[in-house]
Structure 1
Amino acid sequence: MSDNSIYIIKSSGEKVKFSFEKLRKSLKRTGAEHDTVESILRVVKDELYEGISTKEIYNRAFALLKKKKSYLASKYKLKKAIYELGPTGYPFERFISAILTYSGYKTQVGRILQGKCVAHEIDVIAFKNGEATVIECKFHSEEGLKCNVKVPLYINSRYLDVKAHWDSKKMDKTLTPGWVVTNTRFTEDAIQYGKCCGLYLLSWDYPKDDGLKDRIDRLGLYPITVSTLLTNREKQFLLSREVVLCRELIGDAFYLDHLGVSQTRKEKILNEINQICIR
């Protein structure tokens, strides 16, 4: 299937050549069957025009997936759903903490650590195998923004201050290299600096095949904002109660009862969430 060299406009305003293979891959990631993926690609192909936005293409593919099965559309909207964790960065910090917890870490959010010069509030600190890792989260609520080199520069200076104090106190856990996590992407300079100074960078698609989207799909740890059945008000209520993962609602419908969700609708929501979390 040829893309006929159509150029599209990304959310950042950048003009790029449209890739059917990239769209096919994002559709397959949801678990959609081959025939479903190919039928959506055919519809999108017929509706393409020069200068179409990635948002328009996404909306069309999302609507077509939702007609097939709502949980497929939920998985497809993962990137958008993470933006919906905002406008503050706190739910994103909780989300990263939850992903690490399900990866075998013990985590704390918003802990104050003393540095050599000043005290620092750390977004997430994770413990595993006698090691401690400090993780700083950079959340963007607007699409198209990237983390430039200033972010890891700033975070590395904080990390070094904490490490200087940590090492001087001979703590019982080894402090490993710091992490910088973002829901968007890093610029090339930011990646280069991270590699040079030893910071571990984690973004939507970096490192390759082990970025945020890969970890979420691999672990089945989707944010509640992916749901196509919960309203925005309901999602915000759940986030305010520190319920950030779909799987946190499985087997515990207390919060849905508290929201006054009817039995019929509750069953639909829980069925969707169970389907989303299946790996």
Structure 2
Amino acid sequence: MEEKQITIKKSSGNLEPFSSRKLKDSLRNCDVSSDEIDSIISQVIPQLYDGISSKEVHNKVFPLLKKYDRISASKYLLKKGIFELGPTGFPFERLIAALLMEKGYHATVSVVLNGKCVTHEIDVLAEKDRNTYAIECKFHSHPKDVSNVQVPLYINSRFLDVQQQWNFDPKKTTHLKQGWLVTNTRFTIDAVNYGKCIGLTLMSWNYPKNNGMKANIDAYGLYPITVLTTLTKKEKNQLIAKNIILVKELVKEPYHLNEMEISPGKINKILLEAGQLCRTKL
């Protein structure tokens, strides 16, 4: 099919040419079969127009994908699903802590530590191989929001204050080695360059390349409950209020659904989708 020469308005406000290859790659990353990808592309392209937003494209693709494969549709919702973990940053912190634990760290959320000068609340404190890491989670509710260089500057100053106190405390049994900064959107180039220069580990939606948030969530199957297509927004919020953040947590504690106004038939559909998603890794 001949490519339509149109521009897409990204969430950042920037315009870029529409690329069916990028859309195909996005669907392929969600484990969609080649035949299904071709069918979806052939149905979506005629609906596109010059200046259409990336959100509108997503909204046209999703119902078609959901019709073919509900599990792939759940994965396609991942970026949006993370935004829906807000408005507070705590569920996002829980997600990052869970990811670190999958990587072999012992992780604790919301820890207050004394610095040399003042006290600081650390979003996630992680320990592995007698080294400790202080992780700051910068959650954004909108894709337009980015973390500029001021954010790692501030995070690094807090880390250094805590590090001076921690590593000179004879009661500590680990070395406070490094600060990390994690965001669900993206960093500016200056923020990335500053992080590299001072040794601050950065992670965003797709940074570092092939090792960003999306890649790790897919690799470990750590999907938030907000990607489940069988749940309404109200039901997702109710589960988050019960501190059920991850799909795998819902699979382990399905009784939470019985406490909500959900029919037995729908509960079965929710748990079927959740179970399949937990078993599927890219």
What interval of TM-score do these two structures reach, taking the shorter chain for normalisation? over 0.9
Aligned to 1:118: 118
- Structure 2 residue matching 1:185: 3-state secondary structure: coil
Tell me the distance in 2 between the aligned counterparts of 1:78 and 1:86: 14
Among all aligned residue pairs of Structure 1 and Structure 2, give the percentage whose two residues are the same amino acid: 50
Please give the TM-score of this superposition, normalised by the length of structure 1. 0.97
Aligned to 2:29: 29
**Is 2:138 the partner of 1:138?**
yes
How many aligned positions are there? 279
Alpha-carbon distance, 1:4 to partner: 3.9
Amino acid at match of 2:182: V
Alpha-carbon distance, 1:18 to partner: 1.6
Please give the TM-score of this superposition, normalised by the length of structure 2. 0.96
Aligned to 1:66: 66
Tell me the distance in 1 between the aligned counterparts of 2:94 and 2:275: 21
List aligned pairs for 1:252-267, cutoff 5 A. Answer: 252-267=253-268
8 Å CA contact 1:94–1:242 kept in 2: the answer is no
Aligned to 2:203: 202
1:151-186 deviations in Å (ceiling 9; x for gaps) = 101000000000111121142112121100000000
Aligned to 1:77: 77
8 Å CA contact 1:184–1:204 kept in 2: the answer is yes
Alpha-carbon distance, 1:252 to partner: 2.5
Amino acid at match of 2:129: N
Aligned to 2:98: 98
- Structure 2 residue matching 1:168: 3-state secondary structure: coil
Tell me the distance in 2 between the aligned counterparts of 1:137 and 1:120: 14
8 Å CA contact 2:4–2:45 kept in 1: the answer is no
- Structure 2 residue matching 1:135: 3-state secondary structure: strand
1:121-167 deviations in Å (ceiling 9; x for gaps) = 00000111111111000000012211111110100000000011112
8 Å CA contact 2:6–2:18 kept in 1: the answer is yes
Aligned to 2:269: 268
8 Å CA contact 2:132–2:178 kept in 1: the answer is no
List aligned pairs for 1:19-58, cutoff 5 A. Answer: 19-58=19-58
Structure 1 unpaired stretches of 5+: none
Amino acid at match of 1:135: I
**Is 2:232 the partner of 1:241?**
no
Alpha-carbon distance, 1:250 to partner: 1.3
Alpha-carbon distance, 1:69 to partner: 2.1
8 Å CA contact 2:225–2:245 kept in 1: the answer is yes
Structure 2 unpaired stretches of 5+: none
